[in-house]
């Protein structure tokens, strides 16, 4: 993208001659804002647009960036500005929109930065947890089928003893017996004291 200098040098206006198709040049000028008109608008209104951006933003660098970006965008869309008298209005609206976008990005950045980092386990803790989980799974596989079913439903599926009994089709006393024997067997398998 071209960078617009604060005070561009004046370029002489191109005067169409009869032999280079003055009808095409007149049609192009009527179809949008000319570069010369945009340059003159830049010279005449740069400071006022900078002031407009300063009312919306708080630092000079952002204001300058917004105003220059506004001129770049209007320059690239100058064929859509059919009435050259509306060029300044397009520029003002573009400055306001770009200022809003800048503020939106800042607010989003502040929201993201203000959130504390989540407490995460260190790599050692994660590795230790995986080893414990692997040992637990290995110990669970060593249990009798009914003991394993009762423990999984009771502690991993978070069911009550009555729900486990109903699910497995066994008595409440059997659930308690299988559960206590299974926990005892897990303690022995994992080397945990009772």
69 within domain boundaries:
yes
Angle, CA 28 vertex, CA 24 and CA 30 arms, to 5°: 115
**What is the spatial distance between Cα 82 and Cα 78, in angstroms, rounded to a whole number?**
8
Weakly modelled stretches of the chain, pLDDT under 70: 1-32, 114-118, 120-121, 193-194
Do 83 and 149 belong together in one domain?
no
pLDDT at 160: 92
- We report the CATH number of the domain holding residue 96 as 1.10.1740
Do 50 and 92 belong together in one domain?
yes
Element (H, E) at 124: helix 123-141
Q: For residue range 22-77, what is the model confidence (pLDDT) as tens digits? A: 444 444 444 567 888 888 888 888 999 988 888 888 888 899 999 999 988 988 88
4 within domain boundaries:
no
pLDDT at 181: 94
**What is the spatial distance between Cα 69 and Cα 74, in angstroms, rounded to a whole number?**
9
Do 101 and 35 belong together in one domain?
yes
pLDDT at 66: 93
Domain boundary among 88, 111, 134: 111
**What is the spatial distance between Cα 34 and Cα 122, in angstroms, rounded to a whole number?**
62
pLDDT at 140: 87
pTM for the whole structure: 0.44
77: DSSP letter: T
Domain housing 42 = 31-111
């Amino acid at each position: 993208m071209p960078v617009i200098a604060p005070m561009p040098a004046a370029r002489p206006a191109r005067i169409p001659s009869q032999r280079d198709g003055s009808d095409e040049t007149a049609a192009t000028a009527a179809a949008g804002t000319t570069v010369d008109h945009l340059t003159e608008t830049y010279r005449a209104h740069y400071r006022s647009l900078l002031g407009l951006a300063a009312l919306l933003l708080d630092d000079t660098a952002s204001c300058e960036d917004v105003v220059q970006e506004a001129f770049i965008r209007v320059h690239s869309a100058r064929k859509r500005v059919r009435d050259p008298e509306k060029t300044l209005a397009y520029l003002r609206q573009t400055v306001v929109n770009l200022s809003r976008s800048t503020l939106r990005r800042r607010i989003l950045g502040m929201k993201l930065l203000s959130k504390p980092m989540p407490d995460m386990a260190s790599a050692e803790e994660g590795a230790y947890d995986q080893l414990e989980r692997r040992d637990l799974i290995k110990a669970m596989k060593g249990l009798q089928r009914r003991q394993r079913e009762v423990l999984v439903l009771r502690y991993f599926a978070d069911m009550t003893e009555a729900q486990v009994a109903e699910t497995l089709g066994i008595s409440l006393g059997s659930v308690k017996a299988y559960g206590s024997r299974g926990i005892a067997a897990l303690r022995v398998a994992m080397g945990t004291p009772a």
